[in-house]
Chains A and B, each alone.
Chain A
Amino acid sequence: MTPPRIERVTLLVLAIRHLSVGVWVILALLILSAAALVLTDRSDSRDDRALSMWVFSPEHKLMYDPIAARTSDTDAPLDISIMSIAAIQSRMMSGFFGGLPTADLIEVERATIGQVFMGPTEAIGFTDLTPLLESEGLLDQINPPSLSPWSTDGRVFGLPHDVHPVMLAYRADITESAGIDLTQAQTWDEYFAMLRPLMRDNDNDGRIDHYPLAAWYTQPDTVELLMLQGDGALFDEHGVPAIDSDRNAQLLARIVSWCLPDGRVAVDIEEFSAAGHQARVDGVSIGNLCPDWMCSIWRMHVPGLDGKLKLMPLPAFEPGGRRTSVRGGTMLGIPTTTEHPDEAWTYAKTLYTSPDVARELYTLVDIITPVRSLWDDPVYDQPDPYFMGQPKGRMFIELAPMIPIRTSSPYNRAAVLEVRDAAIALVDWAQSRGYGFNDVESIEPRAKQLLERAQTNVVRMMSRNAFAALPEQEDREQ
């Protein structure tokens, strides 16, 4: 039976009066937080003309803030926000997927860009910068290989921030005291042969004290770096997978042979952990693969290496082969949803092609600019005490034009991981047959088989993409 109205009101009052303390606390918090939100809301005070920019590096913000403040070409202020790469990735992609506004300028790390190119061309969330780059002559000024990761179908969707050539950073204090001149090593074979005498257990702890190279088959970035150096390409210029090429099989067999127990010359050292840094200080690895950006990381996190390292071009896989490689990269893109495309382009040019920023980029984080006309700056010739007084910047710049061309295929990451898995399987197989450092030719056929499997997997992934298949179908119909 329904209680009379007056009784229901009485019951309600009684219920409210008997609410527990916890409920009152929650209600009080609710009212207080709502009031705080209303009082602190500054959305009305934001400048409507302001452009927003997302960056993932605090150093980048540090460099850009003063430049942005004195940019006179546009009167729109630039509001730069720092967030993690993952946060930028998820916010940016959510915006692109939903056609929603993101920022006016976004810095994108190379591992993220594949996702942008995954869908149909018309759904790419960044503005095609090719006409702007051509009309302003910037296309000729920028180091050509540095454009490749940010281009698809011959169109450039981002301004490159860097070149990221790779050198070998070696423990000169150890090699020189042993009377070894590593600069004479032209190839990896010569390099390993020169360092083999140092591979001893001097402290009798059951482990070898020094290995010639920090590189391991389970590190996908390292495997990709070395394969790129040796002209191994996982995709051709049209984005078609070429994972199972003979050259890739040769290179994979070589890299894996360095890690096999019989005659092993490589060692697994983590790159961004305290354990890895300590191992480097202890000299567990004599040689370390060093892109330009790594210099500032070591300077900051591994002071124990100060004055002990020297740089040299990477030894080549074969005599006369490429002496460098490339790793990582960042671009600046302008989302198609921006309401200020002209101002965004002005800022993009200023921040990425200005001599001041290029100098700061090198001074702060050891990164060399991709703008070739700025490479004459004397800042690159300054000796670096961390690297025993070497003119590090000039050494990287000399290698910059030689960095390998990289694919922008959205499936590159998947391909790299497949190659890493092939390397793991190859090591297991080679170990079970007792193969070692000198058995590259015996390992190669198996490497080829495993890469064929990797290729099949990547092709299967790609064939699932209905959007990638659409243009071909349209072409056939036309």
Chain B
Amino acid sequence: MSSPRTSRALFLTILLAPFVLIFSVFMLYPLAQSAVLAAHQTYGPGTREYVGAHNLSLLINDPLFWKALKNTLVYTLGSLLIQLPIAFALALALNSPKLRGRSIYRLVFFSPQLMGLVFVSILGVLAFEKRMGLVNRSLAWVTGNSELLELDWLQEHVMATLVLLSLWLYAGFNMIYFLAALQNVDRSLIEASEIDGAGPIARLRHVILPSIKPVATFVVLLSMIGSLQLFELPYILLDSSGGPSNSGLTVVMYLYQNGFELGDLGYASAIGWALAIMLIVLALIQMNMIRRQERLG
């Protein structure tokens, strides 16, 4: 008869086995395979040629990769610097006790998320069309300048279009996080600051922002990782290409083009590893900064 210790170990092993199995098959094995693939050139999984570190040197000297990286970073900055402040401002507005119909506004701002990225992208193509698109029509109507009808967003202002569309899509999503954090700010702290004579700006700076810092950090990290993985939006908006002069090509799009359109899973793996390393480094930097701030009080 087995001892209680053995029985407990068996019980835990059985409980853990499904996760370990699934994690190994779908995460660890592909991860190891992609590292092996990164040293090959392939034409699909069936045909491969060992190229050693050639993919890495190609990547370093590949202007398209750098272009894709630059585009992705510009988009990420655009997202962080425009989208998050707007999301926070919306959350502040919705958190106001004087506001009526808060749940309706919340639904309105959050609703693009319910539609999904693909649908938003398709709507984006229509909205940003020349001449008949909603955006140009509105601009021309507001300014009275018919030349604005000819504004070619999807050819000449690709990055601006991407940032605007992602703003529509994600501002409401991030707003929900900020709103939840704001609603959890200790009321007594706010009241104490009011009694001490702090104005709205001082309250925001010294009471509200420090209180929501953990959530804000999480939102920043989430937005940054999401932005660096941008794919569907430009893929649909630009009809599966990188757009004029590859102005809308992102790192993940470039990975997809190489791996699944050209069949070079090796080079795609190399791109994937480059992106993964970048994400890990960024996450580590951010975590370090948070720890340092926490130590400084």
Chain A residues within CB distance 8 Å of chain B: 1-2, 86, 90, 93-94, 96-99, 115, 118-120, 123, 205-207, 218, 268, 270, 273-275, 278-279, 417, 420-421, 424-425, 457, 464-467, 470
Specify the chain B residue showing the minimal Cβ separation from A273: B129
User: Cβ of B196 < 8 Å from any Cβ of A?
Assistant: no
User: Cβ of B214 < 8 Å from any Cβ of A?
Assistant: no
Collect the chain A residues with CB atoms within 8 Å of residue B250's CB. none
Specify the chain B residue showing the minimal Cβ separation from A267: B150
Count chain A CB atoms within 10 A of each CB in B51, B58, B152, B260 and give the residue with the most: B260
- Contacting pair B49 A467 (CB below 8 A): yes
- Contacting pair B46 A97 (CB below 8 A): yes
Collect the chain B residues with CB atoms within 8 Å of residue A278's CB. 132
- Contacting pair A270 B244 (CB below 8 A): no
Interface members, chain B 197-222 (any A CB < 8 Å):
none
Count chain A CB atoms within 10 A of each CB in B4, B45, B132 and give the residue with the most: B132
Partner of A2 from B4, B132, B262 at Cβ < 8 Å: B4
Q: How large is the interface on B (under 10, 10 to 19, 20 to 34, 35 or more residues)?
A: 35 or more
User: Cβ of B188 < 8 Å from any Cβ of A?
Assistant: no
Collect the chain B residues with CB atoms within 8 Å of residue A119's CB. 43-44, 47, 263
Besides A98-B44, A273-B126, A466-B51, 11 new A-B residue pairs in contact (Cβ under 8 A), listed by A number? A90-B260, A115-B263, A123-B43, A123-B44, A206-B147, A270-B129, A274-B132, A275-B131, A465-B41, A467-B41, A467-B43
User: Cβ of B7 < 8 Å from any Cβ of A?
Assistant: yes
Collect the chain B residues with CB atoms within 8 Å of residue A274's CB. 132
Smallest distance from the beta carbon of B136 to chain A beta carbons, Å? 10
Chain B residues within CB distance 8 Å of chain A: 4, 7-8, 11, 41, 43-47, 49, 51, 58, 63, 126, 129-133, 146-147, 150, 152, 155, 240-241, 244-246, 260-264, 267
Collect the chain A residues with CB atoms within 8 Å of residue B129's CB. 270, 273, 275
Collect the chain B residues with CB atoms within 8 Å of residue A425's CB. 245
Known A-B contacts A273-B129, A275-B131; the reply to A466 vs B41 at CB < 8 A is: yes
Smallest distance from the beta carbon of B133 to chain A beta carbons, Å? 7
Partner of A464 from B7, B132, B261, B267 at Cβ < 8 Å: B267
- Contacting pair A206 B146 (CB below 8 A): yes
Collect the chain B residues with CB atoms within 8 Å of residue A464's CB. 41, 58, 264, 267
Smallest distance from the beta carbon of B111 to chain A beta carbons, Å? 24
Q: Could you tell me the distance between the alpha carbons of A273 and B47 in the complex, rounded to whole angstroms?
A: 40
Cross-chain pairs A/B with CB under 8 angstroms, 5 sampled: A2-B8, A93-B260, A97-B46, A120-B43, A424-B245
